[in-house]
C-alpha cells in the first residue's frame, strides 16, 4: 500500500524542524548505507547521533503519534528514529531496495523494515528533480509532495530518487515495523477501518452495523497482529 499522509508537520513545526536540520553538520549520505545502497547513493545526511537529528527526529515522532491516518495505515509497532537527507547539484539515489533489518548503531534497537517513509521538508517548486519513484505493483509511482507531507510505502519496493538539478531537496526518512507484517493484510485492515469510520460518522458509533464491523476489524487485527 502506497499512501500520502498530508500535514504531518504544520507550518510552525516544519519551521522548527528546518531550523534544526539546516544548522546541522551534513556528511556523506553513505554513513548509513548497506552494501547495495552505497553503490547507488549520492547525497548528504545529518549524522544520526547528532543533537540536531535527535531533536528534529523527536519532533517528527511526536507528530506521527498525533496522526490518525498514519496510525491506521502503518499500525506501527516500532519506528526507527527519523534520519535526514539532502540532495542538490545533480545528486540522486539510483534504484535500490531498503535493508530488511535496520539497526541503530551503538544500541540493541533494531526493527524489521515493513514500511518506508519519506517526509518532505522542502516545497516542490523550490527544486527541480528529486522525485521519489516507487515501483508499485501497478507500475512506477512518482511522488513529490509539499513540505510537511509524507509518503508511506512498502519497504520491499524498489525505489529511487531522481537527480536534483536545481535547488535543494531536504527530507526526513525512516522505517516502521508494523504490528501486521503482511502488506495485503494491512491494506484490508486500513480499507475496513476507513469504511467503519465513514459509516460511524453517518450513523453514529452506536449503530448496530458500525458495532459489528468494528468487532470484525478488531478480530482480524487480533488474528494478524504480532504485538
Known binding residues: 96, 98, 159, 169
DSSP 84: E
Q: Which residues touch 223 (CB under 8 Å, ≥6 apart)? A: none
Report the binding-site residues for Fe cation.
96, 98, 159
DSSP-derived 3-state class of residue 86: strand
Asked if residues 187 and 156 have their Cβ atoms less than 8 Å apart, the reply is no
Q: Which residues touch 224 (CB under 8 Å, ≥6 apart)? A: 180, 182, 185, 189
What is the radius of gyration, based on Cα positions, of the chain?
A: 18
Closest CA to 3 of 147, 185, 186: 186
Asked if residues 187 and 136 have their Cβ atoms less than 8 Å apart, the reply is no
Report the binding-site residues for 2-oxoglutarate.
169
Distance of alpha carbon 63 from alpha carbon 80, whole angstroms: 14
Report the relative pairing of strands 27-28 and 150-154 from DSSP bridges.
unpaired
Distance of alpha carbon 210 from alpha carbon 193, whole angstroms: 11
Amino acid at each position: 500500500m502506497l499512501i500520502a499522509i498530508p500535514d504531518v508537520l504544520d507550518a510552525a513545526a516544519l519551521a522548527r524542524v528546518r531550523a534544526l536540520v539546516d544548522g546541522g553538520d551534513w556528511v556523506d549520505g553513505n554513513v548509513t548505507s548497506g552494501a547495495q545502497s552505497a553503490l547507488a547513493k549520492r547525497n548528504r545526511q545529518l549524522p544520526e547521533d547528532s543533537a540536531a537529528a535527535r531533536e528534529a527526529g523527536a519532533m517528527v515522532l511526536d507528530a506521527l503519534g498525533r496522526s490518525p491516518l498514519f496510525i491506521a495505515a502503518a499500525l506501527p509497532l516500532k519506528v526507527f528514529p527519523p534520519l535526514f537527507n539532502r540532495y542538490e547539484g545533480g545528486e540522486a539515489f539510483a534504484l535500490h531496495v531498503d535493508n530488511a533489518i535496520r539497526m541503530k548503531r551503538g544500541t540493541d534497537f533494531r526493527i524489521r523494515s515493513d514500511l518506508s517513509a519519506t517526509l518532505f521538508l522542502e516545497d516542490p517548486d523550490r527544486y527541480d528533480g528529486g522525485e521519489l519513484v516507487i515501483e508499485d505493483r501497478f507500475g512506477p509511482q512518482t511522488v513529490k509532495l509539499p513540505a510537511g507531507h509524507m509518503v508511506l510505502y512498502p519497504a520491499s519496493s524498489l525505489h529511487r530518487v531522481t537527480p536534483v538539478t536545481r535547488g535543494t531537496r531536504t527530507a526526513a526518512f525512516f522505517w516502521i515495523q508494523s504490528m501486521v507484517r503482511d502488506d495485503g493484510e494491512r491494506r484490508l485492515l486500513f480499507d475496513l477501518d476507513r469504511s467503519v469510520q465513514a459509516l460511524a460518522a453517518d450513523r453514529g458509533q452506536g449503530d448496530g452495523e458500525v458495532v459489528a464491523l468494528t468487532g470484525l476489524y478488531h478480530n482480524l487485527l487480533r488474528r494478524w497482529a504480532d504485538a
